[in-house]
Amino acid sequence: MTAGDEFEIFLVTAPGLEAALCAEARERGFKAPTPVKGGVTVTGGWPEVWRANLELRGASRVLARIAEFRALHLAQLDKRARKVPWGEILRRDLPFRVEASCKHSRIYHQRAAAQRVETAIREALGASVSPEAEICIKARIEDDLCTVSVDSSGETLHKRGHKEAVAKAPMRENLAALFLRLCGFDGSEPVVDPMCGSGTFVIEAAEIAAGLKPGRSRRFAFEQLAGFDAAAWRRLQEKGGSQPPPAARFFGSDRDAGAIQAARDNAARAGVAGWTEFRQQTISDLTAPEGPPGLVIVNPPYGGRIGERKRLYPLYNALGQVLRARFAGWRVGLVTNDASLAAATGLPFAPPGGPVSHGGISVMLFQAGPLS
């Protein structure tokens, strides 16, 4: 695979958010974006793989699909895996590991499949295998077809590299960005999150408004691949330059003092402290900021067992009352796992979109407004 080659790039996201990520990929000029289960495919070469990691807010991982072949048994998997031009992809001096998955296939033993591919690469290339290696090759065997990908991201992309402090039940950054997108947020209006925890929605919104690239502060696994061009990567990172600070402001509040401190620290590290404001306060003290209306986006505590859910009705109810009384003209996006809790707000929500999987919990985005 040479620098000019194009291949399929798989952008992984949370099931339920494929269409939203597809819209983002299209907006950012990626070629042939197509939503599929669990992500979006685009086509491109390594520069697009780098750019996807750097610029896409909604992806949790970017996989470069480097080979595809039929494999009916382990010996065939071994033989065909050796034919992949590993020297163009992996460095001999860095360890790698292989993860395999098998579905509806004659090869059904994932660990055995992974070991075969590991051995094939080790012997063909001379690189060593390590379970701790950052470089991960994924072999997905489905209907006897083996798709081989390189995970170009490494640590999952929701880790932007600014968040040291996390409060309870944080929203993942890539989900927060896609929920903001689904609420029609384009960076030009103010945002309020009255239960902001460590500030994920507010910081994502402020970064979007400022035109900051989500991957600007972190490193990626592709920096350790054979074809990595450090100078070209630097040019890509610097492209676009800095933009003027946004006109809108972004507000977070939470009753928990530790969460607010975490949010402020995270915003400072992200470089958005100048246009974000965080305040310790409960829902009952919440007021709309001065100026034009915008978007309230919030994920209140989730209802787990029935007893817990009952305890949360008054909180959701209070949130709804405050928003109806003090946020005329604002739109509302509420993320929760329970439709009856959303209904307890009394807000005029449209039917929610499909469920989105968030760390094992199935959540939904409820949208209302502008409130009258």
Ligand X SMILES: C[S@@+](CC[C@H](N)C(=O)[O-])C[C@H]1O[C@@H](n2cnc3c(N)ncnc32)[C@H](O)[C@@H]1O
Residues that bind ligand X (CB under 6 A): 167-171, 195-198, 200-201, 254-256, 259, 282-283, 299-301, 315
Measured from the CB of residue 359, what is the shortest distance to ligand X in angstroms? 11
Nearest to 193 by CA among 184, 206, 202: 202
Dump the DSSP string for 77-96: HHHHHHTS-GGGTS-TTS-E
Cα–Cα distance measured from residue 346 to residue 256, given in angstroms and rounded to the nearest whole number: 25
Output 190 or 197, the one with its CB closest to ligand X. 197
Asked whether the beta carbons of 226 and 87 are under 8 A apart, the reply is yes
Output 197 or 246, the one with its CB closest to ligand X. 197
Cα–Cα distance measured from residue 142 to residue 105, given in angstroms and rounded to the nearest whole number: 6
Measured from the CB of residue 351, what is the shortest distance to ligand X in angstroms? 23
Output 40 or 167, the one with its CB closest to ligand X. 167
**Closest residue (Cβ) to ligand X?**
197
Measured from the CB of residue 107, what is the shortest distance to ligand X in angstroms? 40
* Edge-to-edge strand list for the sheet holding 276-280: 276-280, 250-254, 191-193, 295-298, 331-336, 361-368, 356-358
Output 107 or 334, the one with its CB closest to ligand X. 334
Output 196 or 221, the one with its CB closest to ligand X. 196
* Edge-to-edge strand list for the sheet holding 135-142: 31-36, 39-44, 7-12, 61-70, 145-151, 135-142, 96-103
Measured from the CB of residue 176, what is the shortest distance to ligand X in angstroms? 7
Asked whether the beta carbons of 299 and 176 are under 8 A apart, the reply is no
| β-bridge partners, 368 | 332
Output 129 or 315, the one with its CB closest to ligand X. 315
Measured from the CB of residue 64, what is the shortest distance to ligand X in angstroms? 30
Output 76 or 317, the one with its CB closest to ligand X. 317
Measured from the CB of residue 170, what is the shortest distance to ligand X in angstroms? 4
Using the structure block, give the residue that is written with the tokens 């395999």: 100
Measured from the CB of residue 202, what is the shortest distance to ligand X in angstroms? 9
Quote the tokens at residue 211: 């035109």
Cα–Cα distance measured from residue 70 to residue 146, given in angstroms and rounded to the nearest whole number: 6
